[in-house]
């Protein structure tokens, strides 16, 4: 079955609190040049029907109000 | 500054409880052919020193016992 990778990220306009926390932690470790840290989810799955994945995202995998998603189909 | 994308996933041998939960939810929505759902983190950041990102992963971004990570540098 084809493998599909869905990357779900917060919409750019939204404050990424998790990203901000990681950025501050990296700064405290001495990586002071790090900027614009943003965190998202990556969901890998296998399906016989990759065309269904958009509907899966809309219904379950992503929150359409706050998140955007990218779908990559391998093979 | 170059943009770096780090993808952190559970090592394949480990049970992915979150992935299993999503898989069952997708099955209940009728997508019964979906299999092998695995969930990871994607961390995007900008840094003047992409060579530091491996150390950032080892120290903070990934748990070396349970997780593996992939680093992609853009531009």
Which distant-in-sequence residues (6+ apart) come within 8 Å of A63 by Cβ? none
- Which among A48, A52, A59, A54 has a CA at the least distance from the CA of A69? A54
Nearest-CA distance B65 → chain A (Å): 20
Count CB atoms within 10 A of the CB of residue B46. 17
State whether A34 and B25 contact (CB < 8 Å).
no
pLDDT digits (tens, 9 = 90+) for A37-64: 999 999 999 999 999 999 999 999 999 9
Give the CATH number, domain containing residue A55.
3.30.1280.10
User: What is the count of structural domains for chain A?
Assistant: 1
Of the candidates B20, B21, B72, B68, the residue with the CA atom closest to the CA atom of residue A72: B72
Which of A22, A35, A52 is opposite residue B43, by nearest beta carbon? A22
Q: Which domain holds residue B45?
A: 3-74
Say if residues A72 and A51 touch (Cβ distance below 8 Å). Answer: no
pTM of the full structure: 0.90
Tens-digit pLDDT profile for residues B19-70: 999 999 999 999 999 999 999 999 999 999 999 999 999 999 999 999 999 9
């Amino acid at each position: 079955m084809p493998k599909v990778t869905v990357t779900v990220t917060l919409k750019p306009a939204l404050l990424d609190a998790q990203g901000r926390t990681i950025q501050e932690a990296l700064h405290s470790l001495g990586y002071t040049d790090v900027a614009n840290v943003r965190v998202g989810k990556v969901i890998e799955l296998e399906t016989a029907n990759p065309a269904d994945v958009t509907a899966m995202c809309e219904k379950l995998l992503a929150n359409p109000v706050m998140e955007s998603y990218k779908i990559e189909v391998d093979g």
